[in-house]
Structure 1
């Protein structure tokens, strides 16, 4: 085992780095292993079965590195794979390991941010089709109306470094307009994809100033801190040497270049097959 009891953070690609950054800033003393499955990214248009299989393979790889706790910092994986992993795989094969997602922590608090009780959700096709946010938000806030809009072009724009150019404006405005046309009462919009914070300035350009935009990083980080406070058995099993290691199933040079955009610093990732 290589992880020194690190917290594993998984994403289909680069987007989870926005969640990783928030977690590492709030909980800097822990060891972390980040894994991006860039060779098979994006997950958004894959079937439930495919996303579940890919996600489980990556979670098991992080377990093999010595991670007792894994965070699915990917909305699509959280929507399509988390429930099966928690209910089917962990009890049978990994009873002492834990896997958490990003949907429930967000759903628990986002309803409190809306005065009109009308929330918009922007996400990948996979996340939107799963209706996971609609279901989870209504569990905690049954009086809240949830309006959803898929944004299939946003992740490719970010991952190809096209999101800051004027050409991206058409697709940013297109999906925002389609969401806002669903209800004039929307006053809070959840960015239900970890890539989307990188286009936050562009999103704001096409929205009224009074709309509240919600990114997930800080919410998930606070939720994890609370989880560790309540689960001392897991917390005590985690090493606290402030080590951060990054792996990718894709090309490390490409990962390093893109990761610097998300993290604001250079890093040297390792291929998934190495130690």
Structure 2
């Protein structure tokens, strides 16, 4: 019987922070990572465009043999996941599954806050979708969610400028805008998988009592639980610890930048769309 790899998708590099946590928790599985770098960032694109791009990439991963795909991208999870799950999978891929990063995060984020005031930092697309406020209310109806879009953060990170002095201006600007919404925020969610690379600067500009929550371990723990509950899917997964990386963009640039997110060198391949 054929065994299948797990697909992990992101609009660019950010999903590598989620992939890293997943691979550390579940090292035995085969993974195919796809970054749609040629069309990133997704944050300012319309719902229609993000849905179209995400579906194309998910279908490409399906064609590579992935029966389970993780959208390791908050914008794709906010703007495309529901349509893919409700419209595309039942009609065309009834045996395949696509999971996102928003629901697993919403299920636990309330546990990090004492004041019941949570800040959410994300792309414009994620914030405008209001997905986190809606999902968090399902699990923690008493939590107040304060959102702030950070449109400059992804370009800064993807261009390797996240450690520069210039990045401090934009980190401080968005954090101050968030904190002006409430002085009771005691927990800040990094609702973009790129943002963990900015943690040293975010810590510098946040009050010391405010917790910073990244998504990598949360999503990895959720996947561990999901596979335990869905043995019919888990038994079909390949377990050769093979990891393959693809990009729709420039391979050389991807290899250089990916090492920032993974902490190791990789050799990606060009996504063949034919």
TM-score, normalised to structure 2's length?
0.98
Q: Is the 8 A contact 2:3 2:236 kept in 1?
A: no
Which residue is equivalent to 2:122? 123
Distance in 2 (CA, whole Å) between partners of 1:85 and 1:138 is: 23
Aligned residue pair count: 273
What are the Cα deviations for residues 181-217 of structure 1, in whole angstroms up to 9, with x where unaligned?
A: 0000000000000000000000000111110100000
Partner of 1:236: 235
1:175 aligns with 2:174: yes
Confirm or deny that 1:166 pairs with 2:165.
yes
User: Contact 2:11/2:39 (CA < 8 Å) preserved in 1?
Assistant: yes
Instruction: Report the 3-state secondary structure (helix = DSSP H, G, I; strand = E; otherwise coil) of the residue aligned with 2:4.
Output: coil
1:45-84 CA distances to partner (integer Å, 9 max, x unpaired)?
0000000000000000000000010000000000000000
Number of the residue aligned with 1:198: 197
Q: For 2:108, what is the secondary structure of its paired residue?
A: helix
**Pairwise CA RMSD:** 1.1
> CA 1:8/1:157 → structure 2, altered by over 3 Å: closer, same or farther?
same
Structure 1 CA distance for aligned equivalents of residues 207 and 185 of structure 2:
11
Deviations 1:216-264 (A, max 9, x none): 0000000000000000011001000000000000010000000011001
1:173 and 1:138 mapped to 2: Cα distance?
28
Residue 103 of structure 1: aligned partner = 102
Contact 2:60 2:273 in 1 (8 A): no
The Cα of 1:116 is off from its aligned counterpart by: 0.2
Q: Segments of 4+ in structure 1 off by > 3 A? A: none
**Residue of structure 1 equivalent to 2:68:** 69
**Partner-residue secondary structure (3-state), 1:237:** coil
| Residues 1:262 and 2:266 aligned together | no
Contact 1:4 1:67 survives alignment (8 Å): no
Distance 2:178 2:3 in 1: 44
Mapped partners of 2:250, 2:155: distance in 1:
17
Task: Within 5 Å, give how 1:124-139 maps onto structure 2.
Answer: 124-139=123-138
CA distance in 2, matches of 1:272, 1:170: 36
Cα contact 1:4–1:31 (8 A) shared by 2:
no
Q: Structure 2 matches for 1:1-40, cutoff 5 A?
A: 5-40=4-39
Residues 122-153 of structure 1 show CA distances to partners (whole Å, capped at 9, x for unaligned) of 00000000000000001100000000000000
Q: Using the alignment, how far apart are the partners of 1:263 and 1:217 within structure 2?
A: 12
- 1:154-187 alpha-carbon deviations (Å, 9 max, x no partner): 0000001111011111100000000000000000
Distance in 1, matches of 2:219 and 2:53, equals 22
Q: For 1:158 and 1:15, how far apart are their aligned partners in 2?
A: 9
Measured in 2, the distance between the counterparts of 1:144 and 1:273 equals: 45
Match of 1:59 in 2: 58
- What is residue 155 of structure 2 aligned with on the other side? 156
TM-score of the superposition, structure 1-length normalised?
0.98
